[in-house]
Structure 1
Amino acid sequence: MDVKKIVGRNLRKLRVEREMTIEDLAGEAEAEASWTARIERGTVNVGIDQLARYAKVLKVRIGDLFIEPAPGAAAPRPLKPGRRPSKTTTKRPSR
């Protein structure tokens, strides 16, 4: 398995186990949510500094993000539907 895929899979698994949205994780790790999503999909390279911030937020060792899953292990499940509204969302006035 590609290292980017392993890191992304582990990042998602840990995030979901902690019931965090991508927006929650990205915000606490000082990253963009779209960038975090791309990392989880394994489509981009991520720097060690950023991985260290994710590990700190998730309260794991950085090495835990590099653990290869067991053969045949199920992919991490997404969070339940019904995401929380963003804290920065404001209502638009009706016209």
Structure 2
Amino acid sequence: MDGRRLVAWNLRRHRVEQGLSQEKLAVDAQIDRTYVSSLERGLENPTVVVLDKLASALSISIADLFRTPSRGERPPKPLVAGRRGKLKSQ
């Protein structure tokens, strides 16, 4: 797995484990939400500054964004209810 994919995997894993939406993480890291989405899909190459902002917002070290997944480890599932799910139930 290349570095971009590792960051994508771990960024989403940490975000989902903490129950944060992409929007909330983006606000906390002071970056655009669509950029968080692109990072999680492995479409962007983040700078060290962006990695530092994301790690800080997630209360993890930058090194945690490069952890190799264990053999057989599955990608994190999406959060249960997104914005659309909440709007439909109101």
Deviation for aligned residue 1:30: 0.7
Unaligned runs of 5+ in 2: none
Rate the CA distance shift 1:60–1:81 in 2: closer, same or farther, 3 A. same
1:72 maps to 2:72: yes
CA distance in structure 2 between the aligned counterparts of 1:21 and 1:62, rounded to whole angstroms: 20
Number of residue equivalences:
85
1:58 Cα deviation from its structure 2 partner: 0.5
Q: Are positions 1:61 and 2:61 aligned together? A: yes
Mapped to 2, the partners of 1:3 and 1:72 lie a distance apart of 19
Q: Percent identity?
A: 36
Please list every run of 5 or more consecutive structure 1 residues that lacks an aligned counterpart in the other structure. 86-95
| 2:17 counterpart residue number | 17
What is the CA–CA distance in structure 2 between the aligned matches of 1:82 and 1:51, rounded to whole Å? 24
RMSD: 1.3
- AA aligned to 1:26 is A
- TM-score normalised to structure 2 length: 0.88
Return the TM-score normalized by structure 1: 0.84
Amino acid of the structure 2 residue aligned with 1:73: E
> Where is the helix percentage greater, Structure 1 or Structure 2?
2
After superposing on structure 2, the runs of 4+ consecutive aligned residues of structure 1 that deviate more than 4 Å are none
2-side partners of 1:20 and 1:61: how far apart?
17
1:48 maps to amino acid: V
